[in-house]
Amino acid sequence: MKIIKFKDTDTEEIVSLFYETVHSVNSKDYSQVQLDAWAPRDEKESKMKSWKESLSRNITFVAKVNDKVVGFSDFTHSGYLDRLFVHKDYQGQGIAKALVDMLESNAKKLNLLEIDTEASITAKPFFEQLGYKIVCSQTVEKKGVKLANFKMSKKIK
């Protein structure tokens, strides 16, 4: 596995990975109605455009195995970890940790003191293992559907 900086040409694979991962990995913690609101398949085309812009604007890394995107993560220049997803067939192989380590290393270079994120029920234990603390639990609304998640944060040393 190699971790590289995001390129525009990775966008389609990233968006597909997002949909596949949400609809498979997160299905143990969220209902089908919630998954469809979180990752509506009919928005794939519009998401390609908006994500290409935001992934380019943010500090974004892509994990690849044999030139295939198997994970990605990004954070803003102010330290908000926006997205972290690993392909459903590559779970539990250290890819998410490697991506977060890369983000945290870049956060230090930017002299950021803290990284914040909003973690799904599924991702909460992973972030806790890496030293992120729960700030609060919250309910967000997507397409009129309520989803539980957690505001979390970690001090960068």
pLDDT tens digits, 114-135: 999 999 999 999 999 999 999 9
Distance CA 57, CA 70 (A): 21
Q: What is the pLDDT of residue 100?
A: 97
pLDDT value for 157: 77
Q: How many CB atoms lie within 10 A of CB 143?
A: 12
Predicted TM-score (pTM) of the model is 0.94
Exposure string over 79-103, b if 16+ CB within 10 A, otherwise e: bebbbbbbbbebeebebbebbbebb
Sorted by where each begins, the domain ranges of the chain are 2-113
The predicted-structure confidence for 4-20, as pLDDT tens digits, reads as follows: 999 999 999 999 999 99
Residue 153: Cβ-neighbour burial (10 angstroms; 0-12, 13-18, 19+): middle
Positions of the chain with pLDDT lower than 50, given as ranges: none
- Cross-strand partners of 83: 74
What pLDDT does residue 10 have? 96
Cα-only R_g, the chain? 15
* Phi-psi label, residue 57: left if phi above 0, alpha if psi -120 to 50, beta otherwise: alpha
Assigned CATH class of 2-113? alpha beta
- From first CA to last CA, the distance across the chain in angstroms is 27
Q: For residues 107 and 156, is the Cβ–Cβ distance under 8 A?
A: yes
